[in-house]
Structure 1
Amino acid sequence: MTVDGQGVPAVVVGVDGSESALGAVRWAAGEAARRSAPLRLVGVLEWSAYRPPAAAGVLPDGDRDVLLEHLRKELTGAAAQARALVPELTVTYDILIGSPKRALLQEAGTAALLVLGSRGRGGFTGLLAGSVSMALSAAAPCPVVVVRGKGVPDGPVVVGVDGSPESARALRFAVESAARLGAPVLAVRAWSHDRIDPYVLELVQWDGVEDDERRQLENSVLPARQARPDVPITTELVRGHPAQALLAAGERAQLLVVGSRGNGGVTGLLLGSISRSVLHHAHCPVAVLTEPPEPAVSDIQP
């Protein structure tokens, strides 16, 4: 379970004993405290990863016990670090057997937040280098935070916006995160002429295009400003590649927030080069807001 006795969703962290995972635990401990939520540490052991090349059979029970004990020590050590940072924090941990992707997706189903390190070992080997990381970032039913560094402690929460409903969700998450951190929000919109026919480039009134882009940016942040006037929100319009714009802004941020899909300058944010650039090259924690799952037919009211 990823909720406490009062039904408060937990902040869940994938733990494998790597320094990257421990950094994720430390960040998650602070976030759990800010949310008044419990912290849940999860280790996943996938037996198939330890089979010999010939796959001559499963591990003997004795070897399994050794691996389980090793992972248990990693979890207890991580829990001790979290409690040392936030003594009043409720911290639990558990070992799950099977696929890390499936196990963490199941955990995310009732979590407030899923937190991962940028590199891993054991069951989380290559977590950000292959299909597991992209699946978790794109498909988890809760926000996913990949801790790629400490970021700038006094920096803003940076969020990419493009006017889409998905980016609006990302902006709301950024504003709430900033409120808990006592930080401002910097909303970034990137635009370029890459998709304009070269033959009409000389006919475009670029001042007018930029003015229109700025109006769209300001319109995008207006609902958030009205909803949370206590959180300062500034905007930045960048003419250039959206990944470069977000990464540049992220260099002065303590958290970078992106949506799972978008339009305009951030189309396909998690499906192509932009997502890989942000998740692999940011110097601060990156929060990914996935699309809410489609309701089942039985859940739709007539």
Structure 2
Amino acid sequence: MDLPVVVGVDGSEPSLRAVDWAADEAALRGAPLRLVYASLWERYEGQSLADDLAKPSEQVRAEDVVRVAAERARLRQDGVRISTGVLPEEPGFALVREGQGACALVLGTRGRSGLAEVLLGSVSLTVAARADCPVIVVRPGSDNQVRAGAHGRLVVGVGEHGAHSKALSFAVEEARLRGASLDAVRAWRCPAHESTDHPLLAGEPARLHERLAAEVLDRALKETPPDVDLRRRTAEGPARRVLLNASHEADLLVVGARRDRGRLGLQLGRVAHAVLHHGACAVAVVPEPA
């Protein structure tokens, strides 16, 4: 059975842009598309309160939301199989569970109002931190074209997992499917205590750390398929700054996030957190084993 691409919808324009991306992603992968609306309204308020207020029920509104989103997806990619779900549950919990049977989850970042913006931003972070599959967050202002992106380039941050990185494997697969180039980036820093002002040694610590970063890249990319248009790049600085700078010239930025099953709370490192908040393009967070 083909695993679907799942997209969270709520009727907002950012979520509809996420639908566009998810429809393209599903078409690219030959996968089904599942549109999910999750809300606690029905659980805590119910139909009776909606009747008392002489307003349409949230359930009716939710069904309208998924119907409109499904029609948009069909217009975007008419060959994709589409299913929908309206779930009376907390959105973050529902989407994380949906991700257990998905090849990818796609989300927008902002909601319909000031309060909804905060809540939906929180949902995106929660899902990115806890989902078992890659989570793609379509950032505001990013190009929501998958196959024909504005830059024709993806960027992946290469961390300590190296050749065994799930994020790297995902980025390579995405680049191949899109026919896009892939920039594999490894950030490095020279610890302050290793620097020296001696004229004969100046620059040696920095060159050492840069060479080590290049070696990590070489090992990680050794088995990359030859049909991928690959560029290796090392850059000095904190990883989050290096990747944020790279996101300005990319259609998708891919980062890994470690999963520690014995740890409570959100599991989203500083790098993933920073690029989700400030990236200039769509961001994919891929779970890595601890």
Please state which band the TM-score falls in when normalised by the shorter chain.
Answer: 0.7 to 0.9
Q: Deviations over 1:176-231 (max 9, x none)?
A: 001111111100111113x543xx421753223322221222222112x2xx1111
Answer whether contact 1:269 1:275 (CA < 8 A) is retained.
Answer: no
Equivalent residues in 2 for 1:107-186, closer than 5 Å? 107-121=98-112, 125-127=117-119, 129-130=121-122, 132-148=123-139, 149-150=142-143, 152-164=149-161, 168-186=165-183
Correspondent of 2:33 among 39, 44, 57: 39
Assess, with a 3 A threshold, how the Cα gap between structure 1 residues 283 and 68 changes in structure 2: closer, same or farther: same
Mapped to 2, the partners of 1:26 and 1:157 lie a distance apart of 18
Q: Aligned pairs, how many?
A: 269
Partner of 1:87, secondary structure, is coil
1:215 aligns with 2:204: no
Contact 1:118-1:127 at 8 Å conserved across structures: no
Instruction: Give the TM-score normalised by the residue count of structure 1.
Output: 0.80
Instruction: Indicate the percent of aligned positions where both proteins have the same amino acid.
Output: 38
Q: 1:49 to 1:246 in 2, by over 3 A?
A: farther
Matched with 2:239 is 242
Match 2:65 to one of 69, 74, 97:
74
Show structure 2 runs of 5+ residues with no match: 198-203, 260-265
Asked if the contact 1:157–1:254 (Cα under 8 Å) also holds between the matched residues in 2, the reply is yes
Which of residues 9, 13, 29 is equivalent to 2:23?
29
Q: 1:128 to 1:252 in 2, by over 3 A?
A: farther
The aligned amino acid for 1:116 is L
Q: 1:105 to 1:166 in 2, by over 3 A?
A: farther
Contact kept in structure 2, 1:166 and 1:260, CA below 8 Å:
no
1:139, 1:118 → 2: CA distance? 16
Segments of structure 1 that go 5 or more residues without pairing to the other structure are 1-6, 52-56, 263-267, 295-302
Structure 1 residue identity aligned to 2:212: D
Letter in 1 for 2:49: P
The equivalent of 2:49 in structure 1 is 60
Aligned in 2, Cα 1:279/1:196: closer, same or farther, shift over 3 Å? same
Give the deviation of 1:121 after TM superposition: 3.9
Aligned to 2:93: 102
Question: Contact 2:4/2:31 (CA < 8 Å) preserved in 1?
Answer: yes
The DSSP-based 3-state class of the residue aligned with 2:64 is helix
